[in-house]
Amino acid sequence: MNSELATAVILDIEKIRKDFPLLQTKVYGKPLVYLDNAATTQKPFMVLQALDDYYARYNSNVHRGVHYLSQQATEAYEVARRKVAAYINALHEHEIIFTKGTTNSINLVASSFGRKFLKPGDEVLISAMEHHSNIVPWQMICEEKGAILKVIPINDQGELRMERFDELLTDKVKIVAVTYVSNSLGTVNPVQEIIQKAHAAGIPVLLDCAQAIQHIPVNIQELDADFLAFSGHKIYGPTGIGVLYGKERWLDEMPPYEGGGDMIKNVTFAKTTYNELPFKFEAGTPDIAGSIVLGVAIDYIQKTGLAAIRQTEEDVLNYAYNRLAAIPSLRFIGNARQRSGAISFLVGNIHPFDMGELLDKQSIAVRTGHHCTQPVMDFFKIPGTVRASFAFYNTRPEVDALVKGIEKARQMLD
Amino acid sequence: MTIKEQQDNIIDEFSFFDDWTEKYEYIIQMGKDLPLIDEQYKKDENLIRGCQSKVWLHADYRDGKLYFTADSDAVITKGLVSMMVRVLSGQTPKEIASAEIYFIDAIGLKSHLSLTRSNGLLSMLKQMKMYGMAMSGKM
């Protein structure tokens, strides 16, 4: 824990919860206990209002119209880009590309970087705890280019085996793509070390920040990652919008991902020249509303304070971990020393699906299954896990409800 | 007993339950009581892939009727599976192929037959009807 966090105060959660209309919902007649935040987070009023406001007051296409509304929309869209750049401390605004989400961002890099830089026999290095979105795009481009996908293994705690990383980081590797925080295990990876070692060998690094950006302050200039991907909907913004950060030098060298409007400078049937950054990678009408509203979600986080958010989440996460650890026959899947956001577990021989079903009936929303990380489940030889994932609006009484719910389900299933 | 009578019986049994706990305890009990599928039939080609729980289904054709045995690795799914077996097993292929399954909805478990649930139950029902259709020609 750094000094900034040590001084952060725990938020007044009851006050915070009033900002989120959906948290007032009842499910099966009881107050909803929402513990599926790693899948998607709920949205504050501010965000909902901004969405409404855009369509009600200045909906218009960007970068093309000379008319008043189009200028307003364009201005708001570019302000959003500035907010994202400031949030991760990017050097240039044009290093921020708006995408559909983390998956889209990673596909963009795998495809464009891969087409330009991968040759037969080259290697792409990922980790064994990646989400399918950071596996499959690389498999596809590797297959196309005759390159080889290599995998950093994990240990029984669900941590990366860094000694194996050192061995795998050969001069054949052209890019390293790893997650900052595991979505199924909650492990926080030593990304600083990974980036430093990769850079020492002249290899660029993509960081999947889908599960980090809402929990951990990310300073991209300090981290020095070459690419960073995240989704708007996991950071209290809308679905369908995401971000790719890329260092200018890489984005300049990479070919466009999709062709269409906005990404061109000049089109003739003989030849098309491409627009400059960031527009080169934003073909077609972008998700204007989504981008603007993502900017407002970031405003909400800045206003609340990420350090306070982190402190508050750590408090509830530690409380949950200790309460869950006291349940007989409960075992954690993934027990990393550095954890953020999510706790995965199994109880006795109970199938995660049965547990999830009976928790749902008690108005507790958790995730069950493989969490789109089938290789992780194969490693632990389990069909899936039950995953409770937390946001700063989750309370200790909600954790108590979860524990009580698990006990009841266990009695029913035994 | 016809498919309709089997379904109506299940609906009757469920009408006694006041809350979800009793209902689910009954489903769990049915899951536990389901006669085990013969180990030799618990193979990959009999596996119906749901997203979360696995379901195995085996069909036998004897004297113009189809007999099903099934299993699942999740006990609630197994309970649901056992009801489906109870309703459709021992009926003629033609009746199975054309059966209208309404009891799941009537006992308040409609979501279990939706695509979003991905517990394999919908795929299992489709597979049972496929067996029905495939064997209809042999009657």
Calculate mean pLDDT across residues A389-414: 97
Render pLDDT for A156-188 as a digit per residue (tens, 0 to 9): 999 999 999 999 999 999 999 999 999 999 999
The pLDDT, as a whole number, for residue A284 is 94
Burial of A70 (C-beta count, 10 Å sphere; 0-12/13-18/19+)? middle
**Candidates 1.10.20.10, 3.40.640.10, 3.40.190.10, 2.30.130.10; correct CATH number of A47-302?**
3.40.640.10
CB contact under 8 Å between B75 and A413, yes or no, is yes
**pLDDT tens digits, one per residue of A337-357:** 999 999 999 999 999 999 999
B7: nearest Cα among B79, B117, B88, B103: B103
Calpha distance A20→A393 (Å, rounded): 9
The per-residue pLDDT for B110 is: 78
Q: Does A365 touch chain B (CB under 8 A)?
A: no
User: Which among B24, B28, B52 has the least Cβ separation from residue A353?
Assistant: B52
**Which tokens hold the place of A45?**
């009023």
- Annotated domain spans of chain A: 3-40+305-413, 47-302
Is A119 a residue whose pLDDT tops 80?
Answer: yes
- Report how many Cβ contacts below 8 Å link chain A to chain B: 40
pLDDT confidence bin for A370, thresholds 50/70/90: confident
The confidence band for B117, taking pLDDT boundaries of 50, 70 and 90, is: low
| Counted domains in chain B | 1
> What's the average model confidence in pLDDT over A25-36?
96
Q: In this predicted structure, which of A81-90, B33-42, B89-98 has the lowest mean pLDDT?
A: B33-42
Average pLDDT (B54-79) is: 92
Which residues of chain A have a CB within 8 Å of the CB of B74? 351, 353-354
- Mean pLDDT value of segment A47-61: 97
Residue B29's closest chain A neighbor by CA?
A: A413
Does residue B133 register a pLDDT over 80? Answer: yes
**Range in A123-127, A224-228, B111-115 the model is least confident about:** B111-115
Q: Kindly report the CATH number assigned to the domain that includes residue B63.
A: 3.90.1010.10
A372 has catalytic annotation: yes
| Amino acid B35: pLDDT | 80
Choose among A28, A351, A412: nearest Cβ to B74: A351
Using CA of residue A130, residue A321, residue A348, residue A358, what is the dihedral sign?
negative
Report pLDDT for A1. 41
Residue B51 has a pLDDT of: 58
- Nearest chain B residue to A351, by CA: B74
Mean pLDDT of chain A: 95
- Flag if B51 and A354 touch (Cβ within 8 Å): no
Q: Which of B28, B52, B77 sits opposite A368 (nearest CB)?
A: B52
Q: Chain A contact for B47, CB < 8 A?
A: no
Determine the pLDDT at residue A39. Answer: 97
From CA B34, how far away is CA B24, in angstroms rounded?
15
Question: CA-to-CA distance for A107 and A271, rounded, in angstroms?
Answer: 25
Please report the pLDDT score of residue A60 as a whole number: 95
Measured CA to CA in angstroms, residue B138 lies from A73, A324, B63, B67 at distances of 67, 56, 11, 15
Residue B26 has pLDDT above 50, yes or no: yes
pLDDT tens sequence across A231-257: 999 999 999 999 999 999 999 999 999
CA–CA separation, A57 vs A297, rounded Å? 19
Mutation target among A184, A349, A351, A353 for the B interface, most CBs of B within 10 A: A353
Q: What is the pLDDT of residue B119?
A: 61
What is each CA distance from B56 to A49, A372, B36, B119, B134, in whole angstroms? 49, 23, 11, 12, 19
Would the CB atoms of A384 and B52 count as touching at under 8 Å?
yes
Q: Which residues of B are catalytic?
A: 51
Specify the range with the lowest mean pLDDT, choosing from A75-89, A216-230, B69-83. Answer: B69-83
Interface with B, mutate which of A132, A347, A350, A351 (most B CBs under 10 A): A351
A229 in reach of chain B (CB within 8 A): no
Enumerate residues 93 to 112 of chain B having a beta carbon within 8 A of any beta carbon in chain A. Answer: none
Q: Which residues form the domain of B105?
A: 3-136
A290 at interface of B, judged by CB pairs closer than 8 A? no
The yes-or-no answer to whether A3-40+305-413 and A47-302 have a common fold is no
CA distance A341 to A210: 11
Q: What is the CATH number of domain A3-40+305-413?
A: 3.90.1150.10
Given the residues A162, A372, A382, A413, select the one marked as catalytic. A372
Q: Inspect the interface and report whether the beta carbons of B76 and A28 lie closer than 8 Å.
A: no
Q: What is the pLDDT of residue A2?
A: 45
